[in-house]
Every structure is written in structure tokens, then in C-alpha cells.
Amino acid sequence: MRIVIAEDAAMLRDGLCLLLTSRGHEVVAAVGDGEALRQAVDEHRPDLAVIDVRMPPSHTDEGLRAAIEIRRTHPGLGMLVFSQYIETHYAARLLADGAQGVGYLLKERVADVGDFLTALERIAAGETVLDPQVVTQIMGAGRRAEALEELTPREREVLALMAQGRSNSAVAEALFLSYGSVEKHVTQIFTKLGLPPSDNDHRRVLAVLHYLQT
């Protein structure tokens, strides 16, 4: 199997190269950023790419964004996202473009080299290989997005200001509403997001987390 590796950590990148070549695979390129990954795939036309999520320059989601772009120009390329982070938004977009031949595994949860190599072979063969934690978080993000879609435009404005740390009084002033109206909007937001009153949870914080994570 001809493989491209995109991993900015030099030690891990070299380790993956040694592992894969020792098992009979050909590493045609090993790069450290998303742009180099795009160029390597265009040049070498590999069977599979192993891609980290966070790479230069911002170390946020460059790997996944590059994977989405490459998937559209090279639809037959197998892709394994191999990271210690779960980035739900771009992961969902990558899978939405077609889950065949796509994998997402977490580095700290791969305990067996044989399982890792088997996952690569399955992905190259067109199967989908996902860590259960990745599935759980993507599904959770989808449910949060659906809940936010139920909010009215005004409720979204209120929640956006809550996410900025504004109090109900400050929200009322910003939106030219009465304090009572803001209270009603906040109550509706809690209800639609499925956040009942609780002595253990701070509903305002949880509502903001829903908003920010989605």
C-alpha cells in the first residue's frame, strides 16, 4: 500500500514511517502541514493518507480541512484521521462527503499495532473505521445543532449575548427589550435545549456551551 503521512510531530511522523515500511507498506511522503499534504497527494496519488488534525500554522484544524478538500479532488483516496483531538464540525463534514474509505482514530486509544494496521487495510478497502468516542461526540454535536434550530431569531440573539457573558439586564439593554421579556426568552431557551431546573447544574453555562460547541 502506498501511503502519505501528514503529522507535524517529527518523532511520531518518523515512528509511523518506520512502522509502516517494516510491515511492507511504501511511505511515499511524510509531511508536517496541510499544504504539503495537498501537494504530496497530487504528486504521488497514494492509496491512503494518515492525517493529524492540528498542524501548522494555527495548530487547530488544518489537517481536517485539508482532508475535506482532498477528498473532493481525490474521492478514491482512503483517509485515516489520526489525532488526540476530536473536531466534530469538520469530522462530520468529512463523513458527509461519503464515509466509505474514511477512518478517525484517537492516538491514545490505539493500544495494539495489529489493530492499527488492520484499520488501515480496512480503510484502503473502502470501509469506515471510527473510534466510538468520535461517533458519540459527532452525534452529540448533531443533536445540539438540531436543538438550536428550534430557537427563534430573537432567542438566538439572546443566547449569543449570553455567550458573551452578558447578564439579563445587559441583554435587555442591548436588544431594547424589557427585563421580563429577556427572562421569558431565557426560559424558552432552557426549555428548547432540554435544560430543566437543577440544583447541580448551572443552566446558563450549559446553554452557552451548547451554543459554542455547535
Query: DSSP letter string over 148-204?
Result: HHTS-HHHHHHHHHHHTT--HHHHHHHHT--HHHHHHHHHHHHHHTT----SSS-HH
* Residue of higher predicted confidence among 199 and 102: 102
Domain count across the chain: 2
The confidence score (pLDDT) of residue 33 equals 94
Query: Do 96 and 7 share a structural domain?
Result: yes
Residue 143 lies in a domain: no
Do residues 178 and 205 both lie within one domain? yes
Residue 154 shares a structural domain with residue 127: no
**C-beta separation of 7 from 67 below 8 A:** no
Say how many residues make up the chain. 214
Single residue among 102, 131, 160 that ends a domain in this structure: 131
Tell me: pLDDT of 66 over 90: yes
Residue 86, C-alpha cell as written in the block: 476530536
Q: Are residues 90 and 195 in the same domain?
A: no
170 is in which domain, residue-wise? 150-213
Last residue of a domain, one of 131, 158, 183: 131
Co-location of 98 and 191 in the same domain = no
| 129 touches 119 (CB < 8 A) | yes
> Could you tell me which of 100, 123, 121 has the C-alpha nearest to residue 20?
121
Residue 104 included in any domain: yes
Which of 151, 120, 157, 148 has the alpha carbon at shortest distance from 209? 148
Q: Are residues 24 and 102 in the same domain?
A: yes
Query: Do 101 and 17 sit in the same domain of this protein?
Result: yes
**Do 57 and 17 share a domain, yes or no?**
yes
**CATH code of the domain containing 173:** 1.10.10.10
Alpha-carbon distance values, 15 to 30, 111, 135 (Å): 11, 15, 27
User: Omega before 46 cis (within 30°)?
Assistant: no
Distance CA 79, CA 163 (A): 35
Q: Is residue 136 part of a domain?
A: no
- State pLDDT tens for residues 160-193: 898 888 899 999 999 999 999 999 999 999 888 8
Is 53 part of a structural domain of the chain? Answer: yes
Residues 156 and 90 in one domain: no
- The cell numbers describing 30, all together, are 511524510
162 or 199: whose pLDDT is higher? 162
Q: For 82-99, what is the mean pLDDT?
A: 80
Burial class (CB in 10 A: 0-12, 13-18, 19+), 27: buried
pLDDT average, residue stretch 82-87: 88
Model pTM?
A: 0.68
3-state DSSP call for residue 58?
coil
Mapped onto helix, strand or coil, the DSSP state of residue 33 is coil
126 and 207, same domain (yes or no): no
Average pLDDT of the segment spanning 51-66? 90
pLDDT higher than threshold 60 for residue 200 = no
User: Does residue 4 surpass a pLDDT of 80?
Assistant: yes
Please report which confidence band the pLDDT of residue 49 belongs to, taking 50, 70 and 90 as the band edges.
very high
Domain shared by 126 and 20, yes or no: yes
Please state, for a pLDDT cut of 90, what percent of the chain lies above it. Answer: 56
pLDDT at 74: 94
Q: Which of 74, 98, 131 is the last residue of a domain?
A: 131
For the record, the C-alpha cell of 116 comes out as 492499527
